[in-house]
A and B are shown apart, each in its own frame.
Chain A
Amino acid sequence: MKLNRSVLDIDCTAEVERICNRMVDIVARDQRRRGVIIALSGGVDSSVCGALATKAFGPKKVFGLMLPERDSKSTSKDLGVRVAEQLGIEFTVENIGPTLDAIGCYRWRDEAMRRVFPAYDEHWKSKIAIAGGAMGRINFFKLIAQSPDGQVHEARLPIHEYLQIVAATNFKQRIRKTVEYFHADRLNYAVIGTPNRLEYDQGFFVKNGDGAADLKPIAHLYKTQVYALARHLNLPEEVCNAMPTTDTYSLQQGQDEFYFSLPYDKMDIALWAHNHQVSVDELAAYLDVDAARASYIYSDIESKRRATTYLHARPALIERVAEIR
């Protein structure tokens, strides 16, 4: 079969039923929780998870959270609220900006940025972007910053500055998860994690941050399939058409720019093709690139899997404790 987009087609009705049945079994039978917490970012993944949870458990057993901070787009919270209202679930909005400020998130991040661009201050906007891997090089990150006069500055991030910026911004996902588990404990609920297959497979999450959850209902679905479910579940148009962003840095930043080597629809096909042993030549023909570039994309998929194995790993023990499963 020639590689084409239809390889990602799914029967949405059947898939929704299958996921919802499993969610109920997992939460009620295995985890013995009374409902679920869903943090709604306004993006397609969390919105679909919220809609699936509402179908599975009913709106009275789903609690929604919007957790904006200083660098979130205001539309993220507004869209999250719209989704929660459409689903008919109870929700609350908690601005985590003051918590992040108190814990030093912005201070540590900006201090590292100033080591790269000494004039950097709170009036600048910034983001980091991945480079290299899809060109057959070693992956590295660039800092892109815009000064108040509109000038854009760009520099390769040295290792110490890169690690400090990522460590500081990871506070955002970890504080959000702390708030989610507060409400989960308060209500005796389970926490839903919202990664799609690209994010889960390629390790695009923060360990003990957005990577922490009791249940990840769409981790087996390619992003294209998540969009299909969003339309099937009648989520708002803005959700169904939203481009994946990190919503973590003050400059607009697509997920493909930050982490993946291709836009999500092409990345989906590349990952599917890799998983199904499709040849480099066939992937190259589909993507309209040369064979070397397609080969780099496959290598990059494997490289990211290797590099992020640690993120998936449970804490290691010196020896197995036989009594604990």
Chain B
Amino acid sequence: MADIKGQVRNYISENFVMGSNAAKFADGDSFLDLHIIDSTGFLELITFLEEKFDIQIEDDEMVPENLDSLNNIDAYIGRKLAAA
């Protein structure tokens, strides 16, 4: 699946930032630190990732190291797709 980061960035921009003056975020920025996504937002993001990339995110994979930046998501989804 090409351009994981681009698809996730678009989703976050459209659904969480919504064109507001909120922080622009770099690929390595923490969504939590920048207050872009809260705990409910992560549940929305997880549903998006599962549907978009046709994967099942296990409970023990729901950690910031996998989900709390575009770089982390890119690496995590890449591993999931490679293992599929």
Residues on A lying within 8 angstroms of B by beta carbon are 131-133, 136-140, 156, 158-160, 162-163, 303-304, 306-307
Contacts and interface: CB of A to CB of B under 8 A. Distances in A.
B16 interface: no
Does more than half of chain B's interface fall in helix, strand or loop, or is it mixed?
helix
A156 B47 contact: no
A156 B38 contact: no
B63 to A, nearest CB: 5
Given A138-B46, A306-B38, 6 more contacts: A132-B62, A137-B63, A138-B42, A159-B40, A162-B43, A303-B38
Q: Which of A140, A162, A163 has the most C-beta atoms of chain B within 10 angstroms of its own C-beta?
A: A140
B65 to A, nearest CB: 9
A132 B46 contact: no
Given A132-B59, A132-B62, A156-B59, A139 B39 contact: yes
B62 to A, nearest CB: 5
A303 B32 CA distance: 9
A286 B63 CA distance: 26
A307 B40 contact: yes
A307 B39 contact: yes
A317 B32 CA distance: 26
Contacts of B40: 159, 163, 307
Contacts of A303: 32, 38-39
Given A131-B59, A132-B59, A156-B59, A138 B47 contact: no
B8 to A, nearest CB: 15
A307 B37 CA distance: 9
B59 A307 contact: no
A130 to B, nearest CB: 10
A144 to B, nearest CB: 14
B46 A159 contact: yes
Q: Which 7 A-B pairs have the closest CB atoms?
A: A159-B43, A307-B38, A138-B62, A139-B39, A138-B42, A159-B47, A137-B62
A138 B44 contact: no
B73 interface: no
B79 interface: no
